[in-house]
Structure 1
Amino acid sequence: MGEESVKLIGAWFSPFSFRVKCALEMKKIEYDYIDEDMFKMERPIISKHNPSYDKENKKVPVFVHGGNSVLESMVIVEYIEEMWPDRYPLLPKDVYEKSIARFWIKFIEDKGIVFFMFFITSGEANKKAQKDMLELLTTIETQSGIKDDNCKFFGGNKINAVDLAFSPFAYWLGAMEKAEGVALLEAHKFPKLHAWTEALKQDPVIQKNLPDFEELVGFFENIKKYGYLQTPPST
């Protein structure tokens, strides 16, 4: 199908839409982007292209290629990798290294709710959520593919699918921390992970697609103030 009719439906604040944008642009795939208002009652574009859409399923991104819809951000990233394998590689060619990359992608997808719970909870639940978040950051710091000072990214010195999977920690977490008034990913506690966030944000494709930080902080502050986001709106 090549690049025929490549479309991405996302939301400006969504780190999951960001993952797919970066994958497409790293591979230099031309695409049409539609920024959806996730707080409208009706979403005709999403309902048209998302076969699982209902009023309880408001998620982005939705990737449309040649009329076929693909859902879930990291599923989309792997689809892009397999559809255009000869362009910028997002997964290792080595079978073992690819299995390790897929392990860490699944790991962070399974643990993703921890990322949000420290922000959407309060009181004792929030204390537990912050503890869970620190434990998650410790696991990533000590067990992930960021091995030493010569390895900037997960598994090497080029951004790959694992970096995209973990990208919410590089930017969105900071906005949540500022809105919440806490500091979790501190450089002296998590030096490797913190250095990774800085290296990632220096990449031109990453920089281009990051939302304005203060606007993102304001978005999360409104969530804390008005409580209109109860569950993660994206995947």
Structure 2
Amino acid sequence: MKGVEYEYFDEDLMNRPKSSLLLEYNPVHKKIPVLVHNGKPIAESLVILEYIDEIWNDRPVILLPQDPRDRAIARFWAKFMDDKCAPALWRSCRREGIERENAFEEACALLNVLEAELKDKQKRFFGGDTIGFVDIAGNFIGYWIGVIQEVAGVRLLTPEKFPLLCKWCCEFQNFPIIKENLPPREQLFAFFKARFERKRKTFSPAA
């Protein structure tokens, strides 16, 4: 979106131990993503997004609003999605039994908050008429969770329950620059299916 040239390095998330490159650039959390700019690493998704927006602020696309209050509100919703929604959605697909039921209820309550926010805004995106900081922060909901819930056999984010949120997901996935850079759905499905199967084998009682 910013038109910045970059080199991408893929980290095998199924690999143990983690790559020396990841451990070098993110020794604290040992997680992806990591942005390396001028030889110096920046970690954590939202931190990276803000850094990119500030460093390349002369580009046509600005992710965060210019107004201080609007910018603070955008940060609030991005953090809400990242800290609250994504973990709850993940648990609703990964847990079993009563734990899954509890996680499902929690995730539905959080998605209802986002549904209400979209209804209040009456815009295509959380950022307004075009994609912004909050929309990118919500990419887990916008694309990934659809694949994950299919693998897990869970029907959580559906048009019947969350029509505006599902419409936003569709708008997000089909926004040209986003669509061009999303990983293929089949590849994601295979990745998460293998990950779920590995978890089942790990926790299954020995025969």
Q: TM-score, normalised by structure 1?
A: 0.79
Residue 217 of structure 1 is matched in structure 2 by 189
Q: Secondary structure at the match of 2:160?
A: coil
- The answer on 1:197 being equivalent to 2:185 is no
Bigger relative contact order, structure 1 or 2 (CA pairs below 8 A, ≥6 apart): 1
Q: Which has the higher helix share?
A: 2
Q: Tell me, in whole angstroms, the C-alpha distance in 2 between the residues paired with 1:122 and 1:223.
A: 15
The number of aligned residues is 198
Structure 1 residues not aligned, in runs of 5+: 1-25, 231-235
Q: In structure 1, what residue type is equivalent to 2:82?
A: E
Q: In structure 2, what residue type is equivalent to 1:28?
A: G
Superposed counterparts of 1:6-21, under 5 Å: none
Shift of 1:188: 2.1
Residue 83 of structure 1 is matched in structure 2 by 55
Q: In structure 1, what residue type is equivalent to 2:68?
A: V
Shift of 1:99: 1.3
Report if aligned partners of 2:142, 2:169 keep a CA contact under 8 Å in 1.
Answer: yes
Shift of 1:115: 2.2
Report if aligned partners of 1:49, 1:62 keep a CA contact under 8 Å in 2.
Answer: yes
Q: In structure 2, what residue type is equivalent to 1:119?
A: C
Residue 4 of structure 2 is matched in structure 1 by 29
Report if aligned partners of 1:170, 1:200 keep a CA contact under 8 Å in 2.
Answer: yes
Residue 113 of structure 2 is matched in structure 1 by 139
Q: In structure 1, what residue type is equivalent to 2:108?
A: L
Residue 68 of structure 1 is matched in structure 2 by 40
Q: Tell me, in whole angstroms, the C-alpha distance in 2 between the residues paired with 1:222 and 1:128.
A: 25
Shift of 1:41: 1.6
Q: Tell me, in whole angstroms, the C-alpha distance in 2 between the residues paired with 1:51 and 1:58.
A: 5
**Would you identify which runs of 4 or more consecutive aligned residues in structure 1 move more than 4 Å?**
none
Alignment partner of 2:102 out of 117, 128, 150: 128
Q: Secondary structure at the match of 1:59?
A: coil
User: Identity rate of aligned residues, in percent?
Assistant: 38
Superposed counterparts of 1:37-52, under 5 Å: 37-38=12-13, 39-52=15-28
Structure 2 residues not aligned, in runs of 5+: 203-207
Q: In structure 1, what residue type is equivalent to 2:65?
A: P
Report if aligned partners of 1:153, 1:196 keep a CA contact under 8 Å in 2.
Answer: yes
Q: In structure 1, what residue type is equivalent to 2:21?
A: I
Post-superposition CA distance 1:26-61 (Å, at most 9, x none): 000111110011213241111222242xxxx43101
Q: TM-score, normalised by structure 2?
A: 0.90
